[in-house]
């Protein structure tokens, strides 16, 4: 089962194993001058904390947003405008990561509250990637690539605590006119 806490529920689990994206580094350094994004040392290479699953503690998030806003209270939207201001205009679609930013903020300011998983326990895509997604879409009576029970069992057997199904990177059928009311 997916673990959210460790050490008698005093530490929140933060997973590792994400891709490194340089534009995230630039944005964070502009938002929090003098600070760098944190990367976990893996067995072979460094990995990011962009794992597409994370527990957020609202007071820490508010601290970070206040810092992004230059010290202004985060009740307004100043933090959002600051994020947009620091984006690399040549690579806007990969310009900022809430996962990497929040993880780094907590590691820098509240390290006692987090337990960093030393190795990857999740997968961004199911095993087989696009081929598997295509088979799921073909075998689903609604023409969608929703995860099947057998696939989730297999991913768990391979040691994954959770698996992403990033349908935005694959035509999963959700934009089909017949699903307009369900998936937008």
Asked if 99 and 38 count as a contact pair (C-beta separation under 8 A), the reply is no
Q: 163 pLDDT exceeds 60?
A: yes
What's the predicted TM-score (pTM) here?
0.76
Highest mean pLDDT out of 4-18, 95-109, 163-177: 95-109
- The whole-angstrom distance between residue 52's C-alpha and the CA centroid of its chain comes to 3
Instruction: Give the chain's end-to-end CA distance (angstroms, integer).
Output: 31
Q: Which among 89-93, 108-112, 119-123 has the top mean pLDDT?
A: 108-112
DSSP 20: P
- pLDDT of residue 166 exceeding 70, the answer is no
For the chain, what percent of residues have pLDDT higher than 70?
Answer: 87
Residue 87: alpha-carbon gap to chain centroid: 18
Per-residue pLDDT reduced to its tens digit, 19-72: 788 889 999 999 999 999 888 776 566 778 787 778 889 999 999 999 999 876
Closest alpha carbon to 145 in 175, 173, 168, 119: 173
| Coil/strand/helix, residue 154 | helix
Please give the pLDDT value at position 184.
45
């Amino acid at each position: 089962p997916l673990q959210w806490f460790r050490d008698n529920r005093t530490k929140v689990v933060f997973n590792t194993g994400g891709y490194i994206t340089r534009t995230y580094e630039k944005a964070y350094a502009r938002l929090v001058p003098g600070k760098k994004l944190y990367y976990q040392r893996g067995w072979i290479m460094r990995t990011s904390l962009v794992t597409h699953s994370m527990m957020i503690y609202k007071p820490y998030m508010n601290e970070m947003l206040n810092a992004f806003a230059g010290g202004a209270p985060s009740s307004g939207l100043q933090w959002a405008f600051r994020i947009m201001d620091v984006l690399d205009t040549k690579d806007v679609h990969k310009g900022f990561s809430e996962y990497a930013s929040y993880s780094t903020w907590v590691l820098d300011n509240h390290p006692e509250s987090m337990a960093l998983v030393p190795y990857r326990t999740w997968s961004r895509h199911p095993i087989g990637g696009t081929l598997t997604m295509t088979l799921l879409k073909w075998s689903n009576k609604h023409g969608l690539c929703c995860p099947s029970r057998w696939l989730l069992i297999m991913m768990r057997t391979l040691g994954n605590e959770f698996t992403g199904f990033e349908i935005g990177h694959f035509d999963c059928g959700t934009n089909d006119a017949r699903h307009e009311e369900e998936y937008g």
